[in-house]
Amino acid sequence: MSKMTSKTIAILAPGAMGSAVARRLSENGARVLTSLQGRSEATLKRAVDAGMVGAKDDAIAEADIILSIVPPSEAVALAERLAALISTRAHKPIVVDCNAVNVETVRRIGEIIASAQAPFVDGGIIGFPPQPGGKSPAFYMSGEHARDVMVLKDLGLDVRIIEGPVGAASALKMSYAGIVKGLAGIGSAMVIAATKAGAADALRDELALSQPAILARLEVALPDMIPKAYRWVAEMREISGFLGPDHPASQIYEGFARWFEHLAEDAKGEGADAELMRAFAARVAQTGA
């Protein structure tokens, strides 16, 4: 598969990250396919705005590369669907799992895709969805066929190869997310607890004096995480699985999953805790602390 001819990319599905990646690829000359069957009007509009072309399964199977970008809970089911789709075909697209799943899960996905005799790449996305004129998130790739998708770099994505087997890119994603989102979980829990106990100002002042970098991060992270909390629940459970059931820290991430479930429900309901987080972040911005 030459770099010059590999320009038909299928992305499943056209969510916030998938559609933003599609836009970047389209801007750089790729033809980007997706499945729009049963999708909402909002999703249809997002896909069209991103330059994605709605396609049936047969056309998706003919793509050069298929990027799986779905919630972690849907990753295995999508792999099974793709394997069934391409198993009897002479043309075998490279399937890249870009989801926030643990090493055991991605290895299982790799075995499912291998059963269809298709090449498989373990991918991990670190960073925000690409914005027009902005940089791409990092796409870490590992496995035997990782270098076969370097055409994505020519099409505008920041592709970085990890010299390791399937599982290496996902291990990096799990570790990075465990730190960054774990800090967001700790920060949000403590900010809410301090606020309810009347210590928000004191906490903010002390962080400004002794931990200014953490305070600056909370100013951005607290309001940013409110609409995303529901998406982080399954990811925290994948990180717990990454550590393993016997690891003493695995329950920490199960706890974060429950905490993000609470924040997601709060955001959909009265939003009491969400308002406390926004207020803390706003006060930081106002005082310049």
Q: pLDDT tens track of the chain, all 289 residues? A: 444 445 999 999 899 999 999 999 999 999 999 999 888 888 899 999 999 999 999 999 999 999 999 999 999 999 999 999 999 999 999 999 999 999 999 999 999 999 999 999 999 999 999 998 899 999 999 999 999 999 999 999 999 999 999 999 999 999 999 999 999 999 999 999 999 999 999 999 999 999 999 999 999 999 999 999 999 999 999 999 999 999 999 999 999 999 999 999 999 999 999 999 999 999 999 887 5
Question: What is the rounded CA–CA span in Å between residue 251 and residue 240?
Answer: 7
Q: Which two tokens stand for residue 177?
A: 């997310």
Q: What is the pLDDT of residue 4?
A: 41
Residue of 91, 17, 98 whose CA lies nearest to 50: 17
Q: What is the pLDDT of residue 206?
A: 98
Region for 285 from its dihedrals, namely left if φ exceeds 0, alpha if ψ lies in -120 to 50, beta otherwise: alpha
Record the pTM.
Answer: 0.92
Q: At CB < 8 A and 24+ separation, what contacts does 48-56 make?
A: 49/19, 49/23, 50/14, 50/19, 50/20, 50/22, 50/23, 50/26, 51/22, 51/23, 51/26, 51/27, 52/11, 52/14, 52/19, 52/22, 52/26, 55/10
In the chain, where do the E strands start and end? 8-12, 31-34, 53-54, 65-68, 94-97, 120-126, 138-142, 158-161
SS3 261: helix
Q: Which two tokens stand for residue 195?
A: 């606020």
Question: What is the rounded CA–CA span in Å between residue 280 and residue 172?
Answer: 31
CB 19 within 8 A of CB 35: no
Tell me the Cα Rg of the chain: 20
Q: What is the pLDDT of residue 3?
A: 42
Q: Which two tokens stand for residue 255?
A: 């706890």
SS3 63: coil
